[in-house]
Amino acid sequence: MNPSAVAITGIGAISALGAGTDAQLDGLRKGRSGIGHLEVLDLPFPELFFGEVKLSSADLAARIGDRADRSRTALLAILAAQEALEHIPEEERRNMAVISASTVGGMDRSERVAIHWLNGDLAQAGVAFGHPVGDHATLLADRIGANGFITTLSTACSSSANAIMLGAWLLRTGRADLVLAGGADALCRFTIEGFRSLSAMDTQPCRPFSDDRGGMNLGEGAAYLVLETIDHARSKGREPLALVRGAANTNDAHHQTATSPDGEGPFQAMRQALAEAGLAPMAIDLINAHGTGTENNDVTEQTAMERLFDAMPPFVSTKSATGHTLAAAGALEAVFSVLSIRHGFIPINLRTTSPIAGLHSAPTSAVIERPIGTVLSTSFGFGGNDSALVISKV
Amino acid sequence: MYIHAAIASFGASADPAPGIDLVPRSMARRMGPALRRSVGCALAALKAAGIERPDAIYFGTGLGCLADTREFLEEIDRNAGSTLSPTSFMRSTHNTVPGLIALAIKAVGPNLTFSQGLLSFHAALLNATLHVERDPDHMVLVGAADEHLPLLDALAGALPDVALPEGAVLSEGAAFLVVSGRSNEARTCIREAWVGAAEQLTARMNMTGKILTGPVLDGRPPIDPSGEPYALRTGLHQSAPALALVIAHDELPAQEHSRTHIIDRAGERCGLITVERC
């Protein structure tokens, strides 16, 4: 084992499947869906389906011992990060790099007052402090006692996959000993109206990679991973859960929001991540696909996968269980990949009725218990942003 | 890491902004002025470096495309319940500028956007450093941009915890540089792109040089009172450190010190960019 290989030594997550990695594991192994109507959030979309975290901001704040008047993004982030860091002593956190990701940051709070600000009423101006997407990372770093490098990736729906990629890079070049990488996004009206304006939202629970798919369900959540070199982990007595073997980011350079018909950007991201890992496509046991459920994404993504793989490995969109958690998705699905490797199972791609016409493969239709050595996890975003991670057994 | 071109555009002074004529017309028509300025500035930097397309684009922004964010919030308020126009939503994502640059010139390499207040650009520059260490021959476009809205002035006035430095005004701007690991005929190079704990800053600045200090908005004293406050020249916005770097790059050949440190503080953390003559 290369001593500078990047190990994952801690994971934490919260999504529509529940709070904590045990809840994610339980949901994925039972093939449970977290998709439903809103029950907690006060947002005007009774007809739509979401992957909502069934804890109010007050509940989240109480769990982490914080104020409820923070952005929900920050509360979700802190909860997931605390779980990932449970075994990391405080003195080690001090110089830890924090690399987070978000698309909306504190928009869930600022969108409720911004229109009044724009109309000249500056009541609650203090909410503006929590608006920037990087603010949740500052709060998170302060809460966990990290005072080293800090940044927030904001590349739309691939954001936290890119956070993991940068984390691995900092470790390999010796610029950090310990990295917390991940991302968070809360549901808010801004993004819901946004994806609705793009006609990208399914009016039913989403059906990724199904021929009759009708769009995505938005979700919310947060996920963080503790990354360190194998050598560093072992010197601290920590057993790696899995390895980040490869990572790549490419640009499709085709359209601001749509993917090119042959999925060239996604194809190159997957190809380059495999090359960095030094693996051939046949080494992949499972693809945790991006699979939003939109017409454009799923057909182009599957086209790209079929171009890369002569024999398609099982592929799944766990967004069928969690909804699309935007900037949190890459890290959440990296956590799911670790769970698949650690516990030996392939999750189910829920609600697929028939495979996409004209293509040659279908997503998983059952939870299958099977040893998993290597997972390819993909995340694609606006701005032609395409990322892929290769996560392997130690 | 060597600087092959550095272009900045800021405040109301740059009219017309550099590179505006390089933005493909079909794209420029649908862009607001700030977006046009950012993309133009990037294309001008590439042209100055004599390259058609970079191998990677790393970008920092504190608040993203604010005008589009405002427009979509107003659209939601005005047309709640009906079908909304997606244009401003699509443009409101923080990676719009580097996404549009990639689209304009078919740049298919890595394309990352970092947002961490005043320290946003530092992460982009650090990522560029990592990139050229791995692939010294690659030409990397690195930059930052932020927009100004009158609302920011109103909010700053309404927030008792915000104290703008005397003489500085909230503003906007864009700056882009082309860098690589090969000296070619570069006159300046980046020695440091760092973000970390404030108490470690002095140790990172172990060589003497001219000091440019960033704006401090929380009323605390500047981190190095001997430094020249660059925000008086760049205006106050979260991409100002990138503009300060372009200023430092432009002034280095003629200045006394062979090196300039640009230091910024955000809360308990600091950013340092060191650029020197090579």
Cβ-based contacts of A256 with chain B (< 8 Å): 90-91, 96, 99-100, 103
Q: Mean pLDDT check: name the lowest of A10-19, A138-147, A249-258.
A: A249-258
Give which of A48, A138, A190, A251 to mutate to test B binding, by max B Cβ within 10 Å. A251
Residue in B with minimal Cα distance to A139: B267
Burial (CB count <10 Å: 0-12, 13-18, 19+), residue B160: exposed
Cβ of B209 under 8 Å from any chain A Cβ? no
Residue A154 has pLDDT above 60, yes or no: yes
Q: Which of A128, A156, A170 sits opposite B155 (nearest CB)?
A: A128
Residue B163 DSSP code: B
Those residues whose C-beta lies under 8 Å from the C-beta of residue A292, and which sit 6 or more positions away, are A157, A200, A206, A208, A215, A216, A298, A317, A319, A324
Residue in B with minimal Cα distance to A249: B110
Residue B153 has pLDDT above 80, yes or no: yes
Report the share of chain A in percent with pLDDT over 90.
98
pLDDT computed for residue B162 by the predictor: 85
Residue in B with minimal Cα distance to A137: B116
Those residues whose C-beta lies under 8 Å from the C-beta of residue A70, and which sit 6 or more positions away, are A57, A61, A130, A139
Distance in Å, alpha carbon of B188 to nearest chain A alpha carbon: 23
Beta bridge partners of B145: B174
Assigned token pair, A105: 């940051």
- pLDDT higher at B20 or A304: A304
List all residues of chain B from 103 to 132 with a beta carbon under 8 Å from chain A.
103, 106-117, 119-120, 122-123, 126-127, 130
Confidence bin at B14 (pLDDT 50/70/90): low
Residue A235 has pLDDT above 70, yes or no: yes
Report the share of chain B in percent with pLDDT over 70.
99
Distance in Å, alpha carbon of B126 to nearest chain A alpha carbon: 10
Which residue type does A207 have? R
Predicted ipTM of the assembly? 0.97
Distance in Å, alpha carbon of A178 to nearest chain B alpha carbon: 14
Residue B274 has pLDDT above 80, yes or no: yes
d(CA B212, CA B261): 6
- Taking an 8 Å cut-off on Cβ atoms, the answer to whether B73 and A114 are in contact is yes
Residue B12 has pLDDT above 80, yes or no: no
Residue A290 has pLDDT above 60, yes or no: yes
Confidence bin at B206 (pLDDT 50/70/90): confident
Q: Which of A134, A150, A169 sits opposite B130 (nearest CB)?
A: A169
Assigned token pair, A229: 């070199």
Residue in B with minimal Cα distance to A142: B268
Has this prediction a pTM greater than 0.95?
yes
Residue B142 DSSP code: E
Distance in Å, alpha carbon of B253 to nearest chain A alpha carbon: 30
Confidence bin at A358 (pLDDT 50/70/90): very high
Distance in Å, alpha carbon of A19 to nearest chain B alpha carbon: 27
Residue B207 has pLDDT above 90, yes or no: no
Assigned token pair, A327: 């900037």
Assigned token pair, A179: 């990295």
Q: For chain A, give the mean pLDDT.
A: 97
Confidence bin at B113 (pLDDT 50/70/90): very high
Give which of A47, A104, A150, A169 to mutate to test B binding, by max B Cβ within 10 Å. A150
- Taking an 8 Å cut-off on Cβ atoms, the answer to whether A249 and B111 are in contact is yes
Number of Cβ within 10 Å of residue B98's Cβ equals: 34
d(CA A376, CA A390): 5
Cβ-based contacts of A248 with chain B (< 8 Å): 110
Mean pLDDT of B217-235: 86
pLDDT computed for residue A200 by the predictor: 95
Q: Which of A44, A132, A194 sits opposite B115 (nearest CB)?
A: A132
List all residues of chain B from 31 to 70 with a beta carbon under 8 Å from chain A.
57, 61-64, 70
Distance in Å, alpha carbon of A364 to nearest chain B alpha carbon: 31
Q: Within 13 Å of residue B217, how many CA atoms lie on the same side as its CB?
A: 20
Q: Which of A122, A142, A381 sits opposite B154 (nearest CB)?
A: A122
Residue A3 has pLDDT above 80, yes or no: no
* Short-list B65, B56, B62, B61, CA closest to B36: B65
Residue B103 has pLDDT above 70, yes or no: yes
- Write out pLDDT tens, residues B159-178: 988 888 888 899 999 999 99
> Contact B57/B107 with Cβ under 8 angstroms?
yes
- Taking an 8 Å cut-off on Cβ atoms, the answer to whether B99 and A111 are in contact is no
- Taking an 8 Å cut-off on Cβ atoms, the answer to whether B93 and A154 are in contact is yes
> What domains lie within chain B, and their CATH numbers?
2-180 (3.40.47.10), 188-277 (no CATH)
Q: Which of B73, B107, B127 sits opposite A111 (nearest CB)?
A: B73
pLDDT computed for residue B30 by the predictor: 85
- Taking an 8 Å cut-off on Cβ atoms, the answer to whether A251 and B99 are in contact is yes
Assigned token pair, A211: 């021929």
d(CA A183, CA A206): 23
Interface size, chain A vs chain B, as Cβ–Cβ contacts under 8 Å: 188
> What domains lie within chain A, and their CATH numbers?
6-235 (3.40.47.10), 245-392 (3.40.47.10)
Q: Which of A125, A268, A384 sits opposite B102 (nearest CB)?
A: A384
- Taking an 8 Å cut-off on Cβ atoms, the answer to whether B77 and A115 are in contact is yes
Residue B119 DSSP code: T
Give which of B27, B90, B111 to mutate to test A binding, by max A Cβ within 10 Å. B111
Report the share of chain B in percent with pLDDT over 90.
80
Question: Got the DSSP string for A13-40?
Answer: EEETTEESHHHHHHHHHHT----B--SS
> Contact B147/B134 with Cβ under 8 angstroms?
no
